[in-house]
Amino acid sequence: MATNDTLAKGFRPTYSLRLERRLTTPKWLPVATSVGAVVVALIVGALLIYLGGGHPLAAYQHILEAAFGSVGVFNDTLVKATPLILVGLACALAFRMRLWNIGAEGQFFMGAWGASAVVLLPLLPATTPKPLMLLAMALAGFLCGALWGFIPGYLKAKLNVNEVVTTLMMNYIATSWVLFWVFGAWSEGGFQMSRMFPRTAWMPRLLDYAKSIPAFGGLTLHGGILLGLIAATIVWFIVSRSKWGYEIRLIGDNPRAAHYAGINIVRNTVLVMMLSGGLAGLAGMSEISGVVHRLQGAISPGYGFTGIIVAWLAKLNPFAVVLVSVLFGGLILAGREIQPSGIPRMLQGIILFCVIASDVLLRYRVRLVRS
Amino acid sequence: MPQIVNAVEMRGIVKRFPGVLANDHVDFDLCQGEVHALLGENGAGKSTLMNVLAGLYKPEEGAISVEGKRVSFNSPRDAIAAGLGMVHQHFMLVPSQTVTENIILGLEAPRFVLNMAELDKKILALQEQYGLRVDPKAKIWQLSVGEQQRVEILKMLYRGARVLILDEPTAVLTPQEIKEFIATLKGMVASGHSIVFISHKLDEVLAIANRVTVLRHGRATASGVSTAGTTKRKLAELMVGRDVIFFLEKPPATPGPVVLDLQDLKAENDRGLQALKGVSLQVRAGEILGIAGVAGNGQSELAQVITGMRKALSGHVRVNGEDVVNRSPRVAINRQVAHVPEDRNGVGSAPSLSLAENLIMKSYRKAPVGSRLALNRSVIRKQAEELKTAFDIAAPNIDVQARLLSGGNLQKAILAREMSAEPKIIVAVQPTRGLDVGAIEAVQRVLLDERARGTAILLFSEELEEVMALSDRIAVIYEGQIMGEVKPEETTLEQIGLMMAGQRLENIRGETDGHE
């Protein structure tokens, strides 16, 4: 930040960048910096693609077409976005209270396991009516995810155990727990996957209605997206309009002031972690009931971690989470088109970095100073 | 000493912050070997001007010379190299390190090998020279606030500072420590140092400084006026811009029944040391009980125990006869115990939430502000607008973030919130600390109005004048014990000062009786 010595540079005037603290933040600024951050990330990504010998513009055009180019691919984008919405909401809610829940991935797996248990243990017979079956699966998924949120939440609240470490570690337990079941008791003929769920455990999809509405033919978008939209509305109501949300925001902003205001921080920490875990668990349920239709080891390409980026890019706004999820859904889908791994993952990472870095612009104003 | 060259000359300094003109063409001269006071209300631009001098801010316009040479600082390092050292209001020390380690922190020499014994000796010698005594081997957290301040000053002297800038240095000191501190200043001046002394306390400025510069709204209303030729009243007028009355109208108290009854309270502080060693006090409806004492003698802990924010080891807190000790802050709130906390920013407010949201911290649970699940937004906005007007909170609107309010306005907002709950008891801890004259007046008036309404008030304050002016009874706390209880009209500042230093009232009275 310091200016260079003018004498050393002769008579040329030197310029320097200066950061000045902002006193107020205009409402449009967070949106502008988020969009700007994505643009910068795409430019950096383009540079890397170019250095790797690719054609950045062609690559991006391909991504765009592969994700949003037709009804069919847009359907697939939304299918990818569905778990991201729920997981993104899970992270956004916890981050509001400055609880760094890095464990959405594990909570997702536990939710998937809980929903599967209803079918595979089985808790309910295959002949159970569909609405009841789905309700039971959603409940089981939510509760298992909530349990995975409760443990680190309780440890954090009572013993001040760092939730970053516990939630991260519990991811490994959750994935191994699922593997234990799909390799063992639920394995179908020795393969590392369970048997296919009965039709009563399938989330309704658009193509199910193709008989009456032919345009829906082949579209795999399932009821999970409705779950996501409802959840976004509920999370919005909780955070922005409810008494409980006020407590969450107060604790997030200043826990000592919250204590002073008579708010029970221990109880709220546990509850928020449980709701956060429950939402991620619901994402797991929605994914296996709507897409995979069986439990297996590979049900997530890191949805739980992408949810962190989604929440951050959305600046923790529940409705923005929905939009950003669609963007990332497209990125995941189209990424596979151009490269199985690598570029798309890399872009996600670069976007997160840019978004976090852009936060500086919310708090400071950059000025060019001539000296 | 011949005053040919000024130690510091600042000419036409302009410093802007977004939306604020903090310094508007300010001139400031510091002669060799003088104490020059910089006086002004909070937000007048005193600290900004000195941060410019100390290299923390770069001015948009203006010139600075040090000992006759033009300078342009890009960092505090440059300022220190030019012989300017600033001691900030909030100390910048590492609590877990020793005095010596803190003093040498950030210096180029020694490079690798730390010969601690050698350095300790060097620092002891420096202490001898200036009469700033503090054990070089002591860890910072073990030191009193006054001692920590000495470390800060030593740090600057060790770096060879010839000009010392002290930002409100006496705010944290006891009356006795202030006396020592003034002696130290005189010693430093005698050995050729020049001192800038930032303050908003008129009496101190008149007692310590040779000359004074007054700032108001970023402009100098007086530049380098000799303190010998001015009066407290004149300075106050220059500072506030209107005539200030140093007099509070206080009708006689009409105490009712005992509302708050504290019995033998014992509690630990955050470090696990016993901070309260058996405190018993009673406060009646419609009276103010002032608690005098040097900061850190258990005041914070006592206020926290009463308001349910800290667990007591033993004892009772009876509110209207009901024992609420070790319940919770929520119980205290429900029993209409208002709390004006010591730490406005850290405890009393949520910095990123709006003014309106800060005003409902205590009332959001119940109708009309809260319904069963949701918050009633129109009621919140209406109440906030009303409180903003009634308590004269200067804020652009009710949606502004609390962190953007000045100290005085934040305190008014906290008072507005606490008073709107129609409290039966008010626990106010240092309610006027760091506020400017206008805000102090407003806060004191609110407390007296509440007293007239029949509220029982427990007022913790380090400002003896304030305790004397507002209280109906005064109790003095020292190391977690009450040294005695007196009436303001029957006591003297000396008597209270002695109790603040740890003498019991019986002993003081016994001594004076013995002399007669």
User: What does DSSP assign to residue A2?
Assistant: P
- Tell me the per-residue pLDDT of A330-340, one tens digit each, with 9 for 90 and over: 888 887 776 65
Which chain A residues are closer than 8 Å to B74 by Cβ?
A: 2-3
Q: How confident is the model at residue A81 (pLDDT cuts 50, 70, 90)?
A: very high
Of these ranges, A86-100, B205-219, B340-354, the one predicted with the greatest mean pLDDT is A86-100
CB contact (8 A) between residue B17 and residue A23: yes
Alpha-carbon distances, residue A328 vs A29, A284, B158, B198, B280 (angstroms)? 22, 17, 57, 55, 63
User: What does DSSP assign to residue B373?
Assistant: S
Report the share of chain A in percent with pLDDT over 70. Answer: 94
Q: Tell how strand B84-87 and strand B163-167 pair up.
A: parallel
Torsional sign, CA A173, A177, A178, A182:
positive
Of the partner residues B364, B373, B404, the one whose CB lies closest to the CB of residue A23: B404
pLDDT at A341 over 70: no
Which residues of B fall below an 8 Å CB-CB distance to A?
A: 17-20, 58, 74-75, 307-309, 328-333, 339, 341, 343, 346-353, 357, 360-362, 364-365, 370, 373-375, 377, 400-401, 404
pLDDT at B19 over 70: no
* pLDDT score, position A173: 97
ipTM of the predicted structure?
A: 0.84
A243 to chain B, any CB pair closer than 8 A? The answer is: yes
* pLDDT score, position B178: 81
Looking at residues B107-113, what average pLDDT do you find?
A: 71
Q: How confident is the model at residue B485 (pLDDT cuts 50, 70, 90)?
A: very high
**How far is it, in rounded angstroms, from Cα B182 to Cα B40?**
20
Tell me the three state secondary structure of residue B195. Answer: strand
CATH number, span B258-336+423-515: 3.40.50.300
Rg of chain B on CA atoms, in Å = 25
Per this entry, what is the length of chain A? 371
Q: Min CA distance, A263 vs chain B (Å)?
A: 7
**How far is it, in rounded angstroms, from Cα A46 to Cα B155?**
51
A235 to chain B, any CB pair closer than 8 A? The answer is: no
**CA nearest B406 in A: which residue?**
A23
Half-sphere exposure of B262 (CA within 13 A, CB side): 27
Of these ranges, A99-113, B44-58, B458-472, the one predicted with the greatest mean pLDDT is A99-113
Q: Which residues contact B124 (CB under 8 A, 6 or more apart)?
A: B136
pLDDT at A367 over 80: no
CB contact (8 A) between residue A365 and residue B18: yes
Q: How confident is the model at residue B1 (pLDDT cuts 50, 70, 90)?
A: very low
**CA nearest B20 in A: which residue?**
A23
CB contact (8 A) between residue A257 and residue B357: no
Residue B122 CA from chain centroid, whole number: 33
Report the share of chain A in percent with pLDDT over 90. Answer: 64
Q: Which residue has the higher pLDDT, A52 or B321?
A: B321
- The size of the A-B interface in CB pairs under 8 A is 88
Alpha-carbon distances, residue B336 vs B282, B291, B307, B330, B375 (angstroms)? 17, 21, 10, 10, 21
Looking at residues B8-33, what average pLDDT do you find?
A: 87
Buried b (16+ CB within 10 A) or exposed e, B458-496: bbbbbebebbbbbbbbbbbbbebebbbbbebeebeeebb
Q: Hey, where are the domains in chain B?
A: 8-240, 258-336+423-515, 348-421
- Can you state the percent helix, strand and coil of chain B, rounding each to 5? 35, 25, 40
Looking at residues A9-17, what average pLDDT do you find?
A: 62
CB contact (8 A) between residue A243 and residue B374: yes
* pLDDT score, position B345: 87
**pTM assigned to the model:** 0.79
Q: Min CA distance, A249 vs chain B (Å)?
A: 8
A24 to chain B, any CB pair closer than 8 A? The answer is: yes
**CA nearest B401 in A: which residue?**
A24
* pLDDT score, position B177: 78
Q: Which amino acid does the sequence have at A77?
A: T
From the candidates B375, B376, B399, which should be mutated to test the interface with A, based on the most A CB atoms within 10 A?
B375
Which CATH architecture fits A71-338? Orthogonal Bundle (1.10)
* pLDDT score, position B515: 45
Give ∠ CA B177-B169-B175 in degrees, rounded to 5: 25
Name the β-bridge partners of B226: B211
For chain B, the average pLDDT equals 87
Q: Hey, where are the domains in chain A?
A: 71-338
Alpha-carbon distances, residue A167 vs A109, A263, A348, A360 (angstroms)? 13, 24, 21, 27
pLDDT at B361 over 80: yes
For B149, the enclosing helix (H) or strand (E) is helix B145-158
Enumerate the H helices of chain A as residue ranges.
29-51, 56-68, 71-96, 104-120, 130-159, 163-183, 224-236, 243-253, 255-260, 265-287, 303-313, 318-338, 343-363
CB contact (8 A) between residue B329 and residue A259: yes
CATH code matching the domain that covers B8-240, chosen among 1.20.120.10, 3.40.50.300, 3.30.420.40, 3.30.70.270: 3.40.50.300
Name the β-bridge partners of B11: B63
- Tell me the per-residue pLDDT of B239-298, one tens digit each, with 9 for 90 and over: 877 666 556 778 888 899 999 999 999 999 887 889 999 999 999 999 999 999 877 789
Q: Classify burial at A368, counting beta carbons within 10 Å of its beta carbon; exposed 0-12, middle 13-18, buried 19 or more.
A: exposed
Residue reference for tokens 């809610």: A93
* pLDDT score, position B257: 95
* pLDDT score, position B256: 93
Torsional sign, CA A10, B108, B52, A358:
positive
SS (H, E, C) B32-56: CCCEEEEEECCCCCHHHHHHHHCCC
**How far is it, in rounded angstroms, from Cα B333 to Cα B337?**
5
Looking at residues B317-338, what average pLDDT do you find?
A: 95
